[in-house]
Every structure is written in C-alpha cells, then in structure tokens.
Amino acid sequence: MLTAKFDQLVKQLRILPGVGQKSAQRMALHLLTKKRPQGMALAQALDEAMRDIVECQRCHSFSDDAVCPLCQDPRRDDALLCVVETAADVMAIEQTAGYRGRYFVLGGHLSPIDGISADDLNIEQLVWRVKQEPVEELILATGTTVEGQTTAHFINEAVSRHVNKVTRLAQGVPMGGELEYLDSMTLGQAMQNRSFL
C-alpha cells in the first residue's frame, strides 16, 4: 500500500499465527516508527532460530546443539520419562516446575484421517530407548483428544513388556473450574476417578 518493502513486510508478518492484515500493518508501522533497532534484532533472532535450532537427538524436542539442555541436565531423574506430542507440551510441563524427569517428544499423534501412522512419529526410537535405558515410569502425557488417547494406548502396547509402570495424566475438573460450565464428559470422568480428601 505505501511502498513495496512495507507491503512485503506486512505480507510476511501475516504468517505469524493470529496475525491478520490489520495487526500486521500495525506491527509494521510500530516497528518502522519507533523500534527500528529492535526490529533488526528481531530479524536476527528469527533468522538464527530458523537456521540453528535443530531436533534434540535424544528427546526430539528443540535444541541449539545435538542434545538439548533438558537431556544434558545431570540433576534430572533418568528413571522418569514423560512422553508428549510436541515441544510446546514440554514447555507447558516445564512451566509447572513440578516435574524433574526426562522428556520424549513424539512429533504428533496417530491420525489415520491425516495419514499419520506410527512410522511418522518417533515411536520406534521411544521403544528402543525404554529397552536400552532403566526407565522405571513412563508417563503418557499425550492429549485427551481421541487421537491423543489412541496414541497413548498404542504406545502402552508397544512398551509394556519393557517398562514396569506406565501412567497417564490425571483427568478431572480443572483448577478454578465451575462445575455448571464443565462439559459432561470431563465431569463424568472426574466423578468416576474421585479420590479421598
């Protein structure tokens, strides 16, 4: 609209999730008017991240090096392995600051409709790992969608001979949840899995 380079910037900003034409224009104008050095720093950080961040060889999460900081950390408990769908899930669990074991990222969930089979996920590497290493508990922290649950059952079948304990995340009423607004599936689960006070 204003200049070719401005239009190009707006167009490229729209690849960001949740950013439409109006927000992209606002971002571009904001950076150009007041934040050029920061805009350049963002360009550099983006370029470096896209080029240099690789998949960790051990857990398949994101890493700057061949093995990520979480896999390298000697204070982590090797006996606990938490299986998640994506690196975003690793980050979400890390933010709870309550888990001190290791992670393993599947790279998605089984989904026949989308043509994603076990070979498309890191399931073989996971089975290999629990065979080789002394994992005492495997926590299946896949999503509670149909695909996530199917994936969890599939993995359970594949690893049950090699791991003593296979667990999954508790399902129930979320914190701050008002019962009347909760879906009946969740409420039913919570009732079934009720525990002593």
- Positions in the binding site for a copy of itself (CB under 8 A): 1-6, 8-9, 11-13, 15-18, 23, 25-33, 35-53, 61-64, 68-70, 86-88, 90-91, 94-95
- The residue (of 49 and 191) whose beta carbon lies closer to a copy of itself is 49
Q: Please, which residue, 26 or 131, has the CB nearer to a copy of itself? A: 26
Q: Distance between CA atoms of 154 and 168, rounded to whole angstroms?
A: 13
Q: How far is the CB of 51 from a copy of itself (least distance, A)?
A: 7
Q: Rounded to whole angstroms, what are the CA distances from 57 to 11, 120, 126, 152, 197?
A: 35, 16, 12, 22, 43
Q: How far is the CB of 126 from a copy of itself (least distance, A)?
A: 19
- Dist. CA 162–CA 159, nearest whole Å: 5
Q: What distance in Å separates the CA atoms of residue 130 and residue 99, rounded to the nearest whole number?
A: 19
User: From the CB of 30, what's the least distance to a copy of itself, in Å?
Assistant: 5
Of 110 and 159, the one with the shorter C-beta distance to a copy of itself is 110
Query: Are 62 and 53 spatial neighbours (Cβ–Cβ below 8 Å)?
Result: yes
Shortest CB 50 distance to a copy of itself, Å = 4
For a copy of itself, give the closer residue by CB, 69 or 188.
69
Given the complex with a copy of itself, which of 35 and 165 has the nearer CB atom?
A: 35
* Token code pair at residue 162: 């090699």
> From start to end of 15-68, where are the E strands?
54-55, 62-63
Amino acid identity of residue 25, one-letter, is Q
Minimum CB–partner distance for residue 159 and a copy of itself (Å):
25
Q: How far is the CB of 20 from a copy of itself (least distance, A)?
A: 11
Q: What is the DSSP letter of 90?
A: H
Q: Tell me if 68 sits within 8 A of 125, measured CB to CB.
A: no
Name the residue nearer to a copy of itself (CB basis): 64 or 157: 64
Q: What are the tokens at 71?
A: 């896999």
Strands across the sheet with 137-140, in order? 101-105, 77-84, 137-140, 165-168
